[in-house]
A and B are shown apart, each in its own frame.
Chain A
Amino acid sequence: MGVGIEVTNLNAWYGTNHTLQDIDLNIPANHATALIGPSGCGKSTFVRCLNRMHETNPIARVTGTVLIGGLDIYADAKPVEIRRRVGMVFQRPNPFPTMSIYDNVAAGLKLNGYTNRHTLDEIVEKSLKNSALWEEVKDDLKKKSGASLSGGQQQRLCIARALAVDPEVLLMDEPASALDPVSTSKIEDLIFQLKSQYTIVIVTHNMQQAARVAEKTGFFLNGRMVEFDSTHKIFTNPSDKRTEDYITGRFG
């Protein structure tokens, strides 16, 4: 099941560039939350702070508190453990190109010490079913490589890979921006189904996509969270003029 995320006074830097400033945010469990804002506003940095990926850059720095399911991820947990609990899907599908479909999904499990063939088979099948890819690949699991799939299938394979290690949170950084409309709608349907089991945070430039899949939406601008409210409110009658100007295309 998904867990809630509580962010308090989060600040992040790349070198001297103060990219996130004083972010306070409560992301509800088992919902999809969309983050929108112009390029460079800090939304991708924000999600990378939620699984401690931001700090993998040597010039990056983070202060503040992030509680995931009550666990203080910067004080009480190791990055590897956090990244198991908080899966991530990126803009461009990145399957391991030389691995089969099966091995792509099982890779994270093997890293986490799973060796039992029967258990691996079960989890791979369940993950591919949860990512709505099973029916399309079940006959070629070990015959075809991940790279042989279409772009949309590759992205669903990456989602299966993230789901295989049983995360509580799924971060998606523009997961459909490189996909055609049919593949995009499959990813959106998938997000809709998955949010009953996982807490989903999705960064998107596509505001219609945010409106379609997310119950909550946050608007970032210049490293600050300008407004966070129900998606309905944000897209029909936002409280802040800057949010309205952005979503109506008056700047950005």
Chain B
Amino acid sequence: MTRIRFQQSLEELKEQLLVMAGLAEQSIQRAIEAYRVRDLSICDLVSRSELTINRLEREIDQAALDLLAMEQPMAVDLRFILSVIKINADLERVGDAAKGISDRVRNMEQMAQAELPVDIPRMAELAAQMVRKSLQAFIEGDAELARSILSMDDAVDAMNRAAYKALTKVMENESHLAPQALNALMISRALERVADHATNIAEDVIFWIQGDDVRHHKSLKNPPEPPAAA
């Protein structure tokens, strides 16, 4: 084996990203816990983690940039570094989503409790499971596990659509609950985005391991009709 130092640097980059991944996953779980028990001290933890995640994002990007510039990686190593850069951005946005949810929880805390027709914890569990699995696929370099995550996104999308329908109905019919419903809608939307980021991470793992670009596979297979000529 040659280029031992380079291989060590790749391992270090992976470890850095795993630290970031751990924080992002923890943030989303904490944000949901804060929603469930309405505990603002947990929201503070999420806010603090977000600052760390932002710092790590910059450090990981810098380390990846250094490796690209100094080592001129090829093939699987090049795909790995590109995937790290993209996963890094997705994890930062998972951190943002967690912060967004905790902000909504703070907002809701000042309102009267309301029974809303949406199962946020169930949706959160599915989105968090997707993040966990996509990170597991990254740790193990398991493209098959990553592929299994792609279809899970449809379920979260469906839950988000159902939440939108139910919550807009609440806003129309019970206007005094509109602020709570709006916050719940924004949380649902944030969770749907978390699931999208987990899907992106899974796609990046597939690209890293197999060199196969599976992004937008549905929309590219069935592209929309071009607009009719004027």
Contacts and interface: CB of A to CB of B under 8 A. Distances in A.
A207 B6 CA distance: 16
Contacts, number: 35
Interface in A238-252: 238, 243-244, 247-252
Interface string A97-112: 0000000000000000
Contacts of A247: 74-75
A17 interface: no
A208 interface: yes
Interface string B69-85: 00011111111000000
A248 B73 contact: yes
A160 B4 CA distance: 42
Interface residues of B, number: 13
A236 interface: yes
A235 B75 contact: yes
A237 B83 CA distance: 14
A250 B2 CA distance: 5
B29 to A, nearest CB: 36
Interface string B54-81: 0000000000000000001111111100
Contact of A252 (B2, B72, B73): B2
Nearest to B4: A249
A235 B78 CA distance: 9
A41 to B, nearest CB: 15
B220 interface: no
A249 B77 CA distance: 10
B75 A249 contact: no
17 contacts: A208-B72, A235-B75, A235-B78, A236-B74, A236-B79, A236-B211, A237-B75, A237-B79, A237-B211, A238-B75, A244-B75, A247-B75, A248-B3, A248-B76, A249-B3, A250-B1, A250-B2
Given A236-B74, A247-B74, 16 more contacts: A236-B78, A236-B79, A236-B211, A237-B79, A237-B211, A238-B75, A243-B75, A244-B76, A248-B3, A248-B74, A248-B75, A249-B2, A249-B6, A251-B1, A251-B2, A252-B2
Nearest 10 interchain pairs by C-beta? A237-B211, A249-B3, A247-B74, A248-B77, A244-B75, A249-B2, A235-B74, A248-B75, A248-B74, A247-B75
